[in-house]
Structure 1
Amino acid sequence: MDHLRAETYVLNLLRQQLPASLLYHGLHHTLDVVEQSASLAAAEGITNPDDLTLLRTAALYHDSGFLTTYKGHEAASCELVCRVLPGMAYSPSQVELICRMIMATQLPQAPDHLHLAQILCDADLDYLGRPDFWSTSQTLFEEWQARDMVPDEQDWYQIQVKFLGAHHYWTRTAIARRETEKQARLAEVKVRLEQLSGNG
């Protein structure tokens, strides 16, 4: 695997071609997922160098589909992976595994029992249980508003209550690190929703 070439290739693409309106799904999000997936992998006992490289590659490419489409970007990310990585000495089975990890992040997440996919899924939504939840979720709200995907804050908070209530982390590490704070954020979102609804 020429993983450094693969990394340079996708980072250049994301820097140069991602729409500026991707306030949440920008390059900063991809780099955050790369960082969190490495941290989770270390804590989860992943030591095989190939596994770590494949996880890093999947993290780098997981939102590359936003270069061409918003809806169904995971499948578009896999199309790029299948087109580019074989020429960078990734084997068919490695390309397939990377695509499985990427497709697992599609909501609702479905990593099944694939440990690397569970790690990537948890890294992708790590912010749900972090101190920067509010500032990060605000960028997603603005990104959706720019695409007429959510009419106002009240609808947004209703979506957030449903999403946070249904979401669960997959790895023991993410549950230990983020679940308690995520539940606190859910409670805060419910309070804000009540206030907007005129019941607070």
Structure 2
Amino acid sequence: MDCLRAEAYILPQLRQHLSSTLFYHGLHHTLDVVEQALSLAEAEGITDAAELTLLRTAALYHDAGFLTTYQGHEVAGCELARQVLPRFGYTPPQIELIAELVLATRMPQNPGTRHLARILCDADLDYLGRPDFWPISQTLYDELTLRGLMTDETAWLQLQVDFLSSHRYWTSTATARRETQKLARLAEVRQQLAQF
């Protein structure tokens, strides 16, 4: 399993072929998820090199489906992984595990009990409890609005309230790192919504 070659394949694809209107789901998001997944894995005590490689690969490919589709991009990303990862020495069971991790990030997230899936899900939505929540959420609003998936700011704020209220972190590390600030962002969104 040659993660460096798998990475060397996918990063230029994302850099060159993702739509420039993916203001949220661009290459920067993928790189952030990789960084957060590895940070969470370390804090969660994942030391097995093969597990870390599988997690890193899943993070790199988790939004690669946006290369071909917007709706159902997770499934498209799994199809891409099944096509390209064998040439980098990944076995069918390893690729299916990567696909399982990618599919766990679909909304609403459903990682089950698999630790790596829980880590990837938390890495994918790490920003919810970070100081850069507001600028990042604005990019998602802009991305959805451009596609006709968001009608106005009031609807967006209500969606944010609903999403933040129902969201949970799946690992103890992410909960400890991000939950308090996520709840603070929820209070801020509620305050903004009340002003409309």
Asked if TM exceeds 0.5, the reply is: yes
Are 1:25 and 2:25 matched, yes or no? yes
Superposition pairs for residues 134-145 of structure 1, below 5 Å?
Answer: 134-145=134-145
After superposition, the CA RMSD in angstroms is: 0.4
Q: Secondary structure at the match of 1:192?
A: helix
Secondary structure class of the residue paired with 1:149: coil
Q: Which amino acid aligns with 1:173?
A: T
1:99-138: per-residue Cα shift (whole Å, max 9, x none)? 0000000000000000000000000000000000000000
Q: What are structure 1's unaligned runs of at least 5 residues?
A: none
Q: Alignment identity in percent?
A: 64
User: Deviation per CA, 1:6-62, whole angstroms, max 9, x where unpaired?
Assistant: 000000100010000000000000000000000000000000000000000000000
Instruction: Name the amino acid aligned to 2:131.
Output: P
Cα offset for 1:2?
Answer: 1.5
Query: How far, CA to CA, are the matches of 2:49 and 2:2 in structure 1?
Result: 13
Q: What SS does the aligned partner of 1:144 have?
A: helix
- CA–CA distance in structure 2, aligned partners of residues 3 and 29 of structure 1: 19
CA distance in 2: counterparts of 1:9 and 1:121, whole angstroms: 23
How far apart, CA to CA, are the structure 2 residues paired with 1:56 and 1:62? Answer: 10
- Aligned partners of 1:105 and 1:156: how far apart in 2? 21
Using the alignment, how far apart are the partners of 1:5 and 1:174 within structure 2?
29
Q: Which residue of 2 aligns with 1:65?
A: 65
Structure 2: distance between partners of 1:79 and 1:21: 23
Q: Look up the match of 1:42.
A: 42
Which residue is 2:9 aligned to?
Answer: 9
Aligned residues: 196
- Tell me the amino acid that sits aligned with residue 168 of structure 1: R
- Counterpart of 2:103 in structure 1 is 103
Cα distance, 1:167 vs structure 2: 0.3
Give unpaired runs (5+ residues) of structure 2: none
The SS at the match of 2:195 is helix
Structure 1 residue 87 displacement after superposition: 1.5
